[in-house]
Amino acid sequence: MSGPLTSLRVVEFSGIGPGPLVGQLLADLGADVVTVDRRSAKADPADVNRRNKRSAALDLRKAEGLSAVRCLLAGADVLIEGFRPGVMERLGLGPDVCLSANPRLVYGRMTGWGRPGPWRTRPATTSTTSASRARCTPSVGPTSRRCRRSTWWAISAVDRCS
């Protein structure tokens, strides 16, 4: 595919959330995006976030899978991952390891709740993020008893609109 990012090589670790979307947008702009899938998981061919990407199904718990990923990362410009904090470090693919092997690598990581904080290890699914956004919506509903009425209304609105 041609585009302004044709010389960019991206390694994306499959998951949910913004990571696959970022990879799709980079691929649409011409980047060579390789998605690292779990060997045990089946890729959904109807997933629009897989457009213009290649896939490598690897078992990252085995030495062969980690070796293959390290080879991919040696020639990559960008790494995208959206796991919970500590997962890449447990796999031996944290920023320190990857950047020492490839100093020009841009290590992009996204988490639903941020790296520090009390919710950092929780998964950030649509329902949990919608519910938390609703609790933070002060302009919805009456000012008195806001936590009871406005939270219910905002959750409903977010779920219907997203």
Query: What residues does each domain of the chain span?
Result: 9-109, 126-161
CA distance 77 to 11: 8
Topology of the domain comprising 9-109: Rossmann fold (3.40.50)
* DSSP-assigned states of every residue in 45-81: TT-GGGTTEEEEEE-TTSHHHHHHHHHHHHT-SEEEE
Q: What is the pTM assigned to this prediction?
A: 0.72
Q: What share of the chain has pLDDT > 90, as a percent?
A: 46
Chain segment 46-84, per-residue pLDDT in tens? 777 888 899 999 999 999 999 999 999 999 999 999 888
SS3 content of the chain, % helix, strand, coil (to 5): 40, 15, 45
Sorting pLDDT into bands at 50, 70 and 90, what band is 118? confident
